[in-house]
Structure 1
Amino acid sequence: MFGTSGIRGPVGETVTAAVALDVGRALGAHLRTRGDPRRVVVGRDPRESGTLLVDALAAGLRETGVDVLDAGVAATPTVARAVGPMDAGAGVVVTASHNPAPDNGIKLWQPSGQAFDADRRDDIERRVTASDWDLEAWDGLGSRTTVEATTAHRERLVEATAPLAEQVVIDLGNGAGGVTVDALTDLGCAVETLNAQPDGSFPGRPSEPTAANCESLATLVRESDATVGVAHDGDADRLRAVAGDGTYLSGDVTLALFAADAASAGDRVAVPVDTSLAVEEYLAERGVGVERTPVGDTYVAATATAPDVAFGGEPSGAWIWPDETLCPDGPYAACRLVALASERPLAERASEIPTYPIERGSRTAEGKTAVMERVRERLLAAYDESRVSTLDGVRVETDDGWFLLRASGTQPLVRVTAEAREKERAAALFEEASEYVETASGR
């Protein structure tokens, strides 16, 4: 039921009102068993399907005696950061994040701002499967009230950031990230927006802020006096960046910039296994170590709870400052990014970060779990054990690069990634990795 980013998929298929109702009931029972506050903050991104899904989720919560604090349309970090201050036991965001308009999903949050970990997700899934909950009688139902969460989020962003006077372009992607505009305006920035009207059909551009989807943003930044461009996805947990010269910064470069700013010598930074080796090398020059995690902001956040981890990030655009919050907070990342740009142009900073050729692709793999087990066995036999990590899929370190094989969470595919310092070697590693999949698949 749960992937690395909660429940997510096509509305009417994977995600239905019935699923939302059962998750609400299961969450209510989960909170009761743990003795947690029986209040839940609920919000959604602008997708129209979110209206009925929130209604069903709220009904399930109320049937188990839980009070629903409805934040309406709000960014995912807005809801996640409201759970603790509102003395709630959990938060729920109905969102498919960067997925296309036909999808929706459900993601659960702890009072710390961290997403539900594996144990808590497993308990919800078990309860849904077994219908393990008790429903209240008419006089024991929970309430549903409207709450304002965005103002508190904006105020926190302003409080945590020194005044700024930059010209900024923000592409909201028709999503829920308007709090970024308000916060940067309050901080003293001149803000121009793209795709600012919330619309869950995403008419302006696809929700995921890739380089191809952010061409208009890059062009506007390049042809204006803007210092920086910011792009969010549908629920604003992600941020991607454009330097003042119109260059779209890769996720690895942005990760290195944020990490170098947040961490000091002796600190560590949490990054997933598919992060470029250039990030590790750049940080090592500054005495900062790297702790690799499985792919997914949930795993990055869990590692970021360690006292010597100053920052966690994913090249996909999720950024976590553990001293601020354990949720990926795109609006907070925007404030940090503009502050960096105000001190020194992002293009100059980025020019100091090495970039290496990287190859990405997929191979069809029916029975992908069994295929990956055979791949794992063969790679452990072919390489010294010290060079093989099975933290998430199988990652193999070589003298001049690495390759990673991971099963897709939703499709009969194995994802293949390879990186090296030379283009030819990256291509060779990619082919080698792909051959392991082909062989393990019996082809």
Structure 2
Amino acid sequence: MKLFGSSGTRGVAIADLSPEFALRVAKAAGTVWETDRVAVARDTRTTGELLCNAAAAGIAAVGCDVDRLGEVPTPAVGRYCAVRETPCVLVTASHNPPEFNGIKLVGDDGVELQVDALERVENHVLGEEFDEADWRGAGQTTHIDGVNDAYVESVVDAVDRAAIADADLTVAVDPGHGAGSLTNPAIYRRLGCSVRTVNAQPDGRFPGRLPEPVPEHLGDLQRLVRSSDADLGIAHDGDADRAVFVDETGAYIEGDASLAALAADALSAGDAAVSAVNVSQRLVDVCEDVGADLELTPIGATNIITRVRELQAAGKRVPIAGEGNGGVFFPEYRLSRDGAYIAARFLELLADGRPASEVVVPYADYVNVRHNVSYDSDAELDRLLGAAEAYVREAAAEPNTTDGYRLDYGDAWVLVRPSGTEPKVRVYAEARSADRAEELADGVLAALEDAR
């Protein structure tokens, strides 16, 4: 796909992702979807309103009525779409920096469109093939209230509220000024937790921290956990479909470790888990221990969703899927990532009295490193990927080419691949020691830098 990457389409707002482009995507989606009503929603980014205005105009121009949901977390959109059987054009750039924005397309089942559906929409965008209405058939707009409140209720009702409340937990929450600011502190309070917050004012400039919940952005949360004696710190990305954690000591919990802990709780023998090609050995070990299958896909929510649906259609139970970036699916709840639900499931793990640090101890044996190499043109990207290919040809391991190049060494692995959402080549490595992981990553990075 040329327009839609591993999780929608994104770019610098107005400069790259323009209102005209949003209009065309919305007209194409309205043309492809067999419906008379489409929702439009956004996260807290400052350019969200103008892009939503363009998307709403495009939807109305092809004869569909428009439900304007306003500022809502991505999982709240998923719930609305599933309950109302209404698809949505969602304006969000998730974890990207403030200058970015993007578009995700959510089906009337509340799930992001699969690859084949996205390709149909993309073909209409590129071919400018739109079923435009005449003036008498233009769609009408309705502003919908209560979407966030209904979402809060749905998450609280979906987990073991009594067990969490009985544990008398104190939770520190950092929504990062994103859409989760509007819902998630309330969810944890409704679950019976004492809640402390930081960066919890919705603000599309993201003044307190950048939207991606990576360790270097979570100093405020770590300090809050320590100063408030919290049992757990929870951080979300800009659209609140991910959750990462800080333990009771203020230490960052690797996303791969929290995914493994959640998987160990969810999986049984004969089940399947789905993850991406950058899967950690931690999840591999959990699946082997419980007798579950592990299916790998290219990186990105769209690819994981597609594979989960294929397995479910074949009669396979898939209770958990996702990646080690905090984006976890619980397909039996909903086949979309939901940061508040992920965090609530982790709070259930603490309900037996174990501290967060103890919950993840079995999955702490590996060290992950990740580096990004930026590029400015397609020609530079080609040089970088050519260097990566040459590097793996000479490596003492057989490459897995599901998505980029992954080299498994038994005790460690390294992966190099182009990002699906940013102009970067990503290098991941994992090993039982930081030195070994950095050694593997540095080898690839040196080859990429030489290619410049």
> What is the TM-score with the length of structure 2 in the denominator?
0.89
| 1:382 positional shift | 6.0
Gap change, CA 1:187 and 1:408, over 3 Å in 2: closer
In the alignment, is the contact (CA less than 8 A) between 1:94 and 1:104 conserved in 2? yes
> Residue 339 of structure 1 aligns to which amino acid in structure 2?
E
Query: Is residue 142 of structure 1 aligned with residue 151 of structure 2?
Result: no
Classify 1:437/1:308 alpha carbon distance in 2 versus 1 (closer, same or farther; 3 Å): farther
2-structure distance, mates of 1:214, 1:256: 21
Distance in 1 (CA, whole Å) between partners of 2:265 and 2:53 is 42
Distance 1:222 1:346 in 2: 14
AA at the equivalent of 1:289: D
Q: Which residue of the other structure, out of 333, 346, 349, is the alignment partner of 1:337?
A: 346
One-letter amino acid matched to 2:177: N
| Counterpart in the other structure of 1:349 | 359
| Structure 2 SS opposite 1:332 | helix
Matching residue of 2:245: 241
Q: Give the 3-state SS of the residue equivalent to 2:249 in structure 1.
A: coil
Which secondary structure does the structure 1 equivalent of 2:184 belong to?
Answer: helix
Q: Residue in 1 aligned with 2:302?
A: 298
| Residue pairs, 1:263-282, within 5 angstroms | 263-282=267-286
Q: Quick one: distance in 1 between partners of 2:299 and 2:206?
A: 26
1:106 to 84, 92, 103: 103
* Residue equivalent to 1:45: 43
Q: 1:94 aligns to what? A: 91
User: CA, structure 1 residues 364+183, in 2 after alignment: closer, same or farther (shift >3 Å)?
Assistant: closer
**Among residues 177, 184, 198, which one is paired with 1:180 in the alignment?**
184
Distance in 2 between the 1:420 and 1:205 partners? 29
* 1:154 counterpart (131, 152, 155): 152
SS at match of 1:352: helix
Distance (whole Å) between structure 2 residues aligned to residue 170 and residue 378 of structure 1: 42
Give the secondary structure class of the aligned counterpart of 1:52.
helix
Q: Deviations over 1:268-289 (max 9, x none)?
A: 2212111222331244223333
- Asked if the contact 1:50–1:94 (Cα under 8 Å) also holds between the matched residues in 2, the reply is yes
In angstroms, what is the RMSD of aligned CA positions? Answer: 2.3
Alignment of 1:372 with 2:385, yes or no, is: yes
User: Any conservation in 2 of the 1:367–1:412 contact (CA below 8 Å)?
Assistant: no
Query: How far apart in 2 are the matches of 1:359 and 1:221?
Result: 24
Structure 1 residues 334 and 421, CA gap change in structure 2 (3 angstroms): closer
Structure 1: gaps (5+ residues): none
The worse-fitting range, judged by mean Cα deviation, of 248-257 and 427-436 is 427-436
**Is the Cα contact below 8 Å between 1:221 and 1:228 reproduced in 2?**
yes
Amino acid across the alignment from 1:239: A
Separation in 1 of the partners of 2:83 and 2:318?
A: 24
Identity of aligned residues (%): 38
Code of the residue aligned with 1:329 in structure 2: it is D
Q: Corresponding residue for 1:400?
A: 411
Q: Residue 84 of structure 2: SS of its match in structure 1?
A: coil
Measured after TM superposition, the shift of residue 199 of structure 1 is 0.9
The CA deviation string for residues 232-281 of structure 1, in whole angstroms up to 9 with x for no partner, is 11211111111222222111111111111111222222121112223312
Q: Residues 7 and 420 of structure 2 are in contact (CA less than 8 Å); yes or no, is this contact kept in structure 1?
A: no
- Residue by residue over 1:36-77, the C-alpha shift from the partner in whole angstroms, topping out at 9 and shown as x without a partner, is 322212211112211111111000000101111111110011
Count of aligned pairs: 434
Q: Please say if 1:115 is aligned against 2:117.
A: no
Residue 363 to residue 11, structure 1, CA distance change in 2 (3 Å): closer
- 1:173 alignment partner AA: G
How far the C-alpha of 1:231 sits from its partner, in A, is 1.0
Partners in 1 of 2:158 and 2:421 — Cα distance?
38
CA distance, structure 2, for counterparts of residue 398 and residue 14 of structure 1? 40
Residue matched to 2:193? 189
Is 1:429 the counterpart of 2:433? The answer is no
Q: 2-side partners of 1:264 and 1:168: how far apart?
A: 29
Asked whether the equivalents of residues 170 and 232 of structure 2 are also in contact (C-alpha less than 8 Å), the reply is yes
What is the CA deviation profile of residues 321-343 of structure 1, one whole-angstrom value per residue up to 9, with x for unaligned ones?
Answer: 00011111011112112222222
Q: 1:78 aligns to what?
A: 76
2:319 corresponds, among 307, 310, 319, to 310
1:158 positional shift: 1.5
CA 1:401–1:117: 2 relative to 1, 3 Å: same
Partner in structure 1 of residue 264 of structure 2? 260
Q: Which residue of 2 aligns with 1:360?
A: 370
Aligned AA for 1:417?
Y
Q: Is the 8 A contact 1:26 1:128 kept in 2?
A: yes
Q: Distance in 2 between matches of 1:362 and 1:192?
A: 33
What does residue 414 of structure 1 align with?
425
Amino acid at match of 2:7: S
Alignment check: 8 A CA contact 1:369 1:407 kept: no
Deviations 1:208-238 (A, max 9, x none): 1122211121122123232211111121111
Pick aligned residue for 1:131 from 123, 128, 132: 128
Please give the alpha-carbon distance, in whole angstroms, between the structure 2 residues aligned to 1:48 and 1:393.
Answer: 34
Asked whether 1:201 is paired with 2:202, we answer no
For 1:400, give the aligned amino acid: D
Q: Could you tell me how far 1:174 is from its partner in structure 2?
A: 1.2
> 2:135 corresponds to which letter in structure 1?
W
Distance 2:187 2:411 in 1: 44
Distance (whole Å) between structure 1 residues aligned to residue 227 and residue 386 of structure 2:
51
Q: Distance in 1 between matches of 2:142 and 2:429?
A: 50
TM-score by length of 1: 0.91
Maintained 8 Å contact 2:41/2:90? yes
Cα 1:98–1:432 change in 2 (3 A) is closer
SS in 1 for 2:290: coil
Change (3 A) 1:374 1:189: closer
- What is the identity, as a one-letter code, of the residue corresponding to 2:297? T
Relative to structure 1, is the Cα distance of residues 412 and 134 closer, same or farther in structure 2, using a 3 angstrom cutoff? closer
Please state whether the residue corresponding to 2:228 is helix, strand or coil. coil
* SS of the residue 1:111 aligns to: coil
Which residue among 16, 19, 30 is the counterpart of 1:17?
19
Quote the residue 2:173 is aligned against: 170
